[in-house]
Amino acid sequence: MNDINSLYINHLNDLKNKTENFLQEKKLDGLVIASGFLDYYQFDDHPLYFKTNPYLNHWAPIGNIPNCFLIFRAGKVPELLYYHPDDFWHKVAPLPEEFWVFEFDLKPIKDFKEATTYLKKLKGKFTYIGAEKSDLPFEVNNYEVLNFFNYHRGQKSSYELACLEKANYLAAMAHKNAYLAYLDKKSEFSIHKEYLNTLEIREIELPYNNIIALNENGAILHYSDYEKIAPPVHHSFLIDAGASYNGYHSDVTRTYTEIEEFQILVDLMNKAQMQLVDECKVGAKFGDLHIMANEKVGEILSEVGIINGGPKMEMARYFFPHGLGHPLGLQVHDVGSKINDVKGEEIPPPIEFPNLRCTKTLEEGNVITIEPGLYFIDLLLEDLKKDPLGKEVNWDKVEGLKRFGGIRIEDDVLVRQAGPINLTRHAFEKN
């Protein structure tokens, strides 16, 4: 048995123990988690690509199979109703034989009807996590139940960390080839294909749409259009692209240039990003880290002469409009970004940033992204021009930098009592 497999057994046993105690406390007899159901395009008979409910992947990496149900009852081997239809139109996935299967009582089912017949016979009070479907006799997505798992999903087990390490390793490998394609003056589309080729995956298997942005496209925060023709000049390259392993994701951004004027900015941002990663200590408030990031962006703007004066943090908002990061795991924007307990009490954002989405205090075993940015976004620059603070800006300098789009540097960081571990930089070094 390889390492990750034995770590999985410990992960599952711990999850079973915690869930058993929780169910007892809530006077529940069991838990059902559905993988989900196929959905279709509007007015069409083509299904949307299916992804399994991440709450189920927390228990086992079953893959993307609809109509499966996990049933957990205290003291019993968990059951998995595994969808295995008679179907000659599609390839039916063979019954799984991977390491995790041996921990479950696997029951192949032909259809939803067979599953509901089985589920309706369960005795006692069950709670259910998953997409709603009439005919299921359970309370659905109870707030307390979800928060219990949301909180525990934040504290990564050794198995989950091994998966996240692997997801980072894969992303680093593909990032390196994408960078070579950029140096080769390829188009965005070709660079994107190089990324997919390296991982030998289809686009749909990515954890999120790759952002592959050359030049001014780096200023479009969620850019994923991929121009097929290479630009006449490659000023800069921003790549935000991840990978997945056993349902766990990496989320990684790098910014490159070969032009010194912009490289100075990239180097300053890289230094600031690493300082922010160093601050990811147990007990650090994410809201404070976000404020710190804005201060650093303000300092960079001042150091390179983009701004001549004015309140740095106020100015930084026009160049850094998103949050510093988010929890990462079975979802790219993982659950639990605002909570520090199983009850789900939300930590309010700092007054300076009322829209901040990640506000939690960092705890042992959390994995978060740290992704400060600095962009030249026309719409925000127009706003800044109208703001009295606009008079502090060196607009000629800004005009000259627009061709580079922007910078983001994003790493995945494990929070540890002994100090943070940068999973992404380790992965780049190992590759």
Site of interaction with ligand GLY (CB under 6 A): 208, 240, 251, 332, 371, 410
Instruction: Decide if residue 251 touches Mn ion (CB under 5 A).
Output: yes
- When the beta carbons of 216 and 410 are compared against Mn ion, the nearer one is 410
What torsion, rounded to 10 degrees, do the Cα atoms 45, 51, 56, 60 define? Answer: 120
Provide the 8-state DSSP code for 229: S
Residues 6+ apart with CB under 8 A from 301: 307, 312, 315, 316, 319, 374
SS3 373: strand
- Min separation Cβ 164 and Mn ion, Å: 13
d(CA 429, CA 431): 6
Q: Which does 165 bind (CB under 5 to 8 A by kind): ligand GLY, Mn ion, none?
A: none
Question: Which of these segments, 3-11, 112-120, 363-371, 392-400, binds Mn ion (CB under 5 A)?
Answer: 363-371
Q: Which does 353 bind (CB under 5 to 8 A by kind): ligand GLY, Mn ion, none?
A: none
- Min separation Cβ 323 and ligand GLY, Å: 8
Q: Which does 216 bind (CB under 5 to 8 A by kind): ligand GLY, Mn ion, none?
A: none
Buried b or exposed e, range 383-415, using 16+ CB within 10 angstroms = ebeebebbebbeeeebeebbbbbbbbbbbbbbb
d(CA 58, CA 65): 15
Residues 6+ apart with CB under 8 A from 420: 277, 278, 280, 281, 413, 414
d(CA 282, CA 362): 5
Instruction: Decide if residue 165 touches Mn ion (CB under 5 A).
Output: no
Q: Which does 331 bind (CB under 5 to 8 A by kind): ligand GLY, Mn ion, none?
A: none
User: Sheet harboring 236-241: ordered strands across?
Assistant: 211-214, 236-241, 252-257
- Min separation Cβ 394 and ligand GLY, Å: 29
- When the beta carbons of 239 and 306 are compared against Mn ion, the nearer one is 239
Tell me the C-alpha to C-alpha distance, in Å, between residue 197 and each of 202, 206, 353, 365.
8, 12, 40, 33
Instruction: Decide if residue 369 touches Mn ion (CB under 5 A).
Output: yes
Rule CB under 5 A: choose which of 79, 188, 240, 334 binds Mn ion.
240
Q: Give me the residues paired with residue 36 across strands.
A: none
- Min separation Cβ 252 and Mn ion, Å: 7
Q: Which does 257 bind (CB under 5 to 8 A by kind): Mn ion, ligand GLY, none?
A: none
- Min separation Cβ 158 and Mn ion, Å: 23
Instruction: Decide if residue 412 touches Mn ion (CB under 5 A).
Output: no
Cβ atoms 240, 406 nearer than 8 A: no
Q: Which does 208 bind (CB under 5 to 8 A by kind): ligand GLY, Mn ion, none?
A: ligand GLY
- When the beta carbons of 165 and 410 are compared against ligand GLY, the nearer one is 410
- Min separation Cβ 321 and Mn ion, Å: 14
Instruction: Decide if residue 334 touches Mn ion (CB under 5 A).
Output: no
Cβ atoms 161, 9 nearer than 8 A: no
Chain residues in the site for Mn ion (CB under 5 A):
240, 251, 253, 369, 410
